[in-house]
Chains A and B, each alone.
Chain A
Amino acid sequence: MAKTPIRRMKDLPSSHLFGSGTPMCAGCGGLESLHQIYEILGPRTVFVNAAGCMTLLAIYPFTPFRGSWLYTAMASAPAGAQGIRDALDILLEQQRMEPAEDLNVVVLTGDGSANGMGLSATSAAMERNLDFLYICYDNEGYGNTGQQFSAATPHGARTATSTGPHGFSGNKKDLFSIWAAHKPAYVATAIGAEPVDLARKIEAAKQLKGPRLIITLAPCPPGWDFDPRDAADIGKLAVKTGIWPLKEYVDGKVVHSKIPHPRLPVEEYLQTQGRFSHLFHPRRDEGLLAEIQDSVDRYWNGITE
């Protein structure tokens, strides 16, 4: 399927297509994954963006992209993708544009848009079988406004709007399953700290037609309260502890691309971040720690592929 199957680090492209000097925070996990994603997608892309951190990538007159960009609004990036895709198709059909001028249409939003006000537009785009790629960088909160909790915030996390002793009382929305329930061409979870897995999934998505949607967990130094230099390690721990399962939905089936074995205790991940410090200080919140571990265990129980 792929031109060069990506199996190991040395198979990864390193064209450094994505420009430097963006205003994203040091250690931004979203930028880490976008950088890698762009290497695979290449410049023949138009990114359709919803309100979020990444909106600040293109500030007049600068852009880190070699290709195109359209900022829409928080709720309707998939509808923007619809308009561009349809217009390009019309121009191709009527031979008003050379096929070489065609573009990959890529929606880029954060978890706030993806899980909340953008979900209706995303659902409808899938229902219409829109040929597009959706990249959601999931930093588990409204990061651009100072990390208030979103529907993607994990249980127990402290955010700017969940500052109590037990953190966020809700549970992270299962966006992967919501998306997969629409039976699109492809859904995957990924993370920048696992570049081979991420690149393989982008490559797989690139080869397919129809709706293809990928959520990358985006460790967020200011939002999650950790030192930027730890971003990659925290990303790796998210996978090793099983709190961020790496998986794909393709051909009606969910397959895990990495089953952590042995699976590390989830508190090894939690204790790296200030947003969970109330679980450990001034004393351990055994109840909440057990609850979080239990939910991870329940997820993996019986998963063999």
Chain B
Amino acid sequence: MRPKLLTGNAAAAWGARLARVDYVPAFPITPQTEIIETLGRWIEGAEMPGRMVTLESEHSMITAAGAAASTGVRVFSATSSQGLLYGMEMIYTVAGWRAPFVLVNVSRGLASPITLEPDHNDVLAARDSGFLQIHCATCQEVLDSVIMAYRIAEDPRVRLPVIVNLDGFYLSFTREPVDIPEPDSVADFLPAYDPESTRFRASSPNSQAVAVLGGAPYSYFRYESHLASLNALGVHTEVAEAFAQQFGRRYEAVEAYRCEDAEIIFLMIGSFATKAKAAVDGLRNAGESVGLARPRLLRPLPTDELARILGGKQAVAVIDQNISMGMGGVLHAELASTLYGKANAPPVLTSFIGGLGGRDISPEEFYEIAAITREAVKSGVTPPPRLLYTEQEYREVQKLQAIAHAERYEVGAE
């Protein structure tokens, strides 16, 4: 089949359609809305079976998603940014229900200030919830990851919901050639969901999500979810292998690009990693041995795989498209704890914050990151975390501030 040009959103919708989802609880939010509009159109036009229900909030949407998955049907939903945060209570809650379903998050920066454009603070807020997280860099990967995500989520060794993440605008609204697998082929790869005992039936009464008293049962069930999440590492490897067999496309837990002989590695997630990839090629042409590591799986975090790829390197430059206020980049901290104390751990781990609220990262900035990191290797002194921000950008903000002050003066507020 010839590839079709699809947006990241359309690719996500195709993933859900090919996964033969039964139920789509929905709520619109930019830049995700195209996903539910597409699914809604297909369901209304009888192009796919299933039922879509628009809830009154993401909090209710995720509740309905978890409840339906707990009743034994295959569920898909999608959200973004503020919506993910509005539903956050239920993100944690339904993960504890061990209700497997797939939630696509189209990353968008968080208020305040309110914005529509992407960064990863939204999805990273769900980091500790029990949801698995798969981060995509291309539209093809979005479609494929949704299908893979169902097999991982529904695996009896895992039984956890999965967030498949794509970046707003850069992927959600960007058309790329996407190979749409044949439905029969997907059905071979992803059989019908067998909920086993995770269901409500008159003949087999079931109490789900009951309270516990005391730390012993609480710790037990929480840790059980943690172990289930860790199981997803092995399950992902199996599923990726089966996927490669079936469809000829292979997805590793961590994509390693030109890492083998690299001295310095860029580390980042999401679609901006494709920019880093291009920069790696540019730097290689200039004779610099640089590579890129892109964790696709962020929860569970493939720590062994990361340690293997990064071991023996001179330095890792972590580029975080997020900011943990009062600390810095989330991935930088995750990586530090992954590598600390490991034999062969790279001695230098530099931290850069960039791409907040859709702010682009230019090739020159990647070159600068490489230069700063190389300097740190030479001097043995790791520089403090740095925000990618140009003088030009600073001047533009100063102009906006000048207008704000002038207008305020004009209306007599000062």
Contact = CB atoms under 8 A, between A and B. Distances in A.
Interface of A: 43-44, 46, 48, 55-56, 58-61, 63, 65-73, 75-76, 78-84, 86-91, 94, 97, 100-103, 120-121, 123-124, 128
B210 A63 contact: yes
A121 B203 CA distance: 29
B53 A86 contact: yes
Contact of B56 (A55, A66, A102, A121): A121
A124 B70 contact: no
A86 B55 contact: no
Given A69-B210, A79-B60, A90-B23, 10 more contacts: A43-B205, A67-B205, A68-B200, A69-B208, A70-B208, A75-B59, A78-B60, A80-B67, A84-B70, A121-B57
Nearest to B92: A73
Given A56-B211, A73-B89, A83-B65, A65 B205 contact: yes
Nearest to B66: A83
Interface in B150-170: none
A59 B213 contact: yes
Nearest to A43: B205
B210 A87 contact: no
B55 A103 contact: no
22 contacts: A59-B213, A60-B212, A63-B210, A70-B67, A71-B210, A71-B211, A72-B63, A73-B59, A79-B55, A82-B55, A83-B68, A83-B71, A83-B75, A84-B67, A86-B23, A86-B64, A87-B71, A90-B23, A101-B201, A120-B57, A121-B57, A123-B56
A27 B209 CA distance: 27
Given A72-B93, A79-B64, A86-B23, A97 B201 contact: yes
A69 B56 CA distance: 23
B205 A72 contact: no
A124 B60 contact: yes
A253 B83 CA distance: 38
B239 interface: no
B56 A82 contact: no
B19 to A, nearest CB: 15
A60 B211 contact: yes
Contacts of B305: none
Contacts of A100: 202-203
Nearest to A63: B207
B398 interface: no
A123 B59 CA distance: 14
A88 B211 contact: no
B85 to A, nearest CB: 14
A86 B72 contact: no
B95 to A, nearest CB: 13
B71 A88 contact: yes
A94 to B, nearest CB: 8
Main secondary structure of the interface of A (DSSP, over half): mixed
Given A67-B205, A90-B51, A91-B72, A76 B60 contact: yes
Given A68-B207, A80-B64, A86-B68, A91 B73 contact: yes
In the complex, the 7 A-B pairs of residues with the closest C-beta atoms, listed nearest first: A83-B67, A79-B60, A87-B71, A83-B64, A124-B56, A83-B68, A76-B63
B345 interface: no
Given A58-B211, A60-B210, A87 B22 contact: yes
Contacts of A123: 56
B322 to A, nearest CB: 26
A48 B60 CA distance: 13
A100 B66 CA distance: 24
Interface string B41-66: 00000000111010111011101111
B64 A103 contact: no
Contacts of A88: 71, 200
A87 B201 contact: no
B51 A79 contact: no
Contacts of A46: 200
Nearest to A120: B56
Q: Could you say which of B23, B60, B68, B70 has the most chain A C-beta atoms within 10 Å of its C-beta?
A: B60
A100 B204 CA distance: 12
B204 to A, nearest CB: 8
Contacts of A76: 59-60, 63, 90
A124 B55 contact: yes
Contacts of B217: 60
Interface in B197-227: 200-203, 205-213, 217
Contacts of A102: 202
Nearest to B49: A94
B31 interface: no
Contacts of B53: 82, 86, 128
Contact of A84 (B51, B93, B200, B205): B200
A79 B209 contact: no
Interface string B82-97: 0000000110010000
A70 to B, nearest CB: 5
A60 B69 CA distance: 21
B16 to A, nearest CB: 15
B207 A65 contact: yes
Contacts of A120: 56-57, 60
Given A73-B89, A103-B200, A120-B56, A58 B207 contact: yes
A80 B63 contact: yes
Nearest to B192: A96
A82 B64 contact: yes
Interface string B26-52: 000000000000000000000001110
Given A72-B209, A82-B55, A90 B73 contact: yes
Contacts of B211: 55-56, 58-60, 71
A226 B345 CA distance: 67
A79 B205 contact: no
Interface string B349-380: 00000000000000000000000000000000
Contacts of A90: 22-23, 50-51, 73
